[in-house]
Amino acid sequence: VCAASTPHFIDLTQVRHVVLVLSGKGGVGKSTITTELALALRHAGKRVGILDVDLCGPSIPRMLSVGRPDVHQCDSGWVPVYTDAQKSLALMSIGFLLEDPDEAVVWRGPKKTAMISQFVSDVAWGELDVLLVDTPPGTSDEHLAVLENLKKHRVDGAVLVTTPQAVSTGDVRREITFCKKTGVRILGIIENMSGFACPHCSECSNIFSKGGGEELAKLTGSVFLGSVPLDPLLGSSIEQGKDFIESFPDSATFSAINSISQTLLESLQT
């Protein structure tokens, strides 16, 4: 682990908004949604950063096709990796700092939280409109470590990602309770894998009952940011590290993601 750096104080003064992306359990598409929201916001002309703290599987570098680059340090901390020449999408992943990608999962307790604290505090983000923080699934000590470090500065709130199936379980409710207990504002709920978008005729079929996310938002007094269908074209873009938005700008799935990103921006401005 590249932890030989001297500690720095977190400097998010040039970051306008900090948003946590949470999910009650793994596999609901939290990292996919984080990636697509970042791409949609960039598409809308925003400068975006992603902090990938998902120790269970730091997948964002793969989704953005940046591999495992060497991370460099400047006077104010680790320099994020930029996905484009315009430096409009900056990424820092805990995966960059591991010699072995499977290393993080074997860490326990204090070592894990100490590493996260240092990681969260030591990135030189520069000027950003939105920083999205992809957290591990569930609510754990790692979440508290992330929050403790970020909150010293400022967190605007959290976006909760769920699926039609997961909404009926207690996982997402636990996430809501976590936000309430830690004083994190819920910016909104996103229902992912909501219906199946057929790649042949673009028809969307509801395999599982839809609308749970919206209902949950109403019940908890949160904003429903929107739903994203299960779309094989999105799945393969993510797997191949391709920009879905560039490849399928006219798709209903892009339009859903774009509308969520705009509602999120509005929510951040109120």
Ligand X SMILES: Nc1ncnc2c1ncn2[C@@H]1O[C@H](COP(=O)(O)OP(=O)(O)OP(=O)(O)O)[C@@H](O)[C@H]1O
Which positions lie near ligand X, rule CB under 6 A? 23, 26-32, 54, 56-57, 59, 137, 192-193, 228, 230-231, 234-235, 238-239
Candidates 1-9, 194-202, 222-230, 240-248; binding stretch for ligand SF4 (CB under 6 A): 194-202
Given ligand X, ligand SF4, none, residue 101, with its beta carbon under 5 to 8 Å by kind, binds none
User: Which pair of structure tokens corresponds to residue 139?
Assistant: 């609510």
Q: Which alpha helices (H) appear in the chain, and where do they start and end?
A: 30-43, 60-63, 109-121, 141-151, 171-182, 212-220, 232-240, 244-247, 252-269
User: Which pair of structure tokens corresponds to residue 131?
Assistant: 């920083």
When the beta carbons of 91 and 124 are compared against ligand X, the nearer one is 91
> For the CA atoms of the chain, what is the radius of gyration?
18
State the minimum distance, in angstroms, from the CB of residue 64 to ligand X: 12
Quick one: DSSP state of residue 79? Answer: P
141 CB contacts (<8 Å, ≥6 apart)? 109, 112, 113
Q: Pairing mode, if any, of strands 186-197 and 224-230?
A: parallel
State the minimum distance, in angstroms, from the CB of residue 203 to ligand SF4: 4
When the beta carbons of 59 and 261 are compared against ligand X, the nearer one is 59
When the beta carbons of 12 and 97 are compared against ligand X, the nearer one is 97
Residue nearest to ligand X (CB): 26
When the beta carbons of 105 and 198 are compared against ligand SF4, the nearer one is 198
Q: Total binding residues for ligand SF4 by CB under 6 A?
A: 4
Residue identified by tokens 């409009």 is 88
State the minimum distance, in angstroms, from the CB of residue 230 to ligand SF4: 12
Instruction: Flag whether 56 is marked binding.
Output: no
203 is a contact residue toward ligand SF4 (CB under 6 A): yes
Candidates 12-20, 40-48, 105-113, 196-204; binding stretch for ligand SF4 (CB under 6 A): 196-204
User: Which pair of structure tokens corresponds to residue 192?
Assistant: 């992912």
Is 49 strand, coil or helix? strand
User: Which pair of structure tokens corresponds to residue 210?
Assistant: 């839809």
User: Which pair of structure tokens corresponds to residue 227?
Assistant: 């739903």
Given ligand X, ligand SF4, none, residue 198, with its beta carbon under 5 to 8 Å by kind, binds ligand SF4
Task: State the Cα–Cα distance between residues 39 and 126, nearest whole angstrom.
Answer: 18
**Residues in binding site:** 24-31, 198, 201
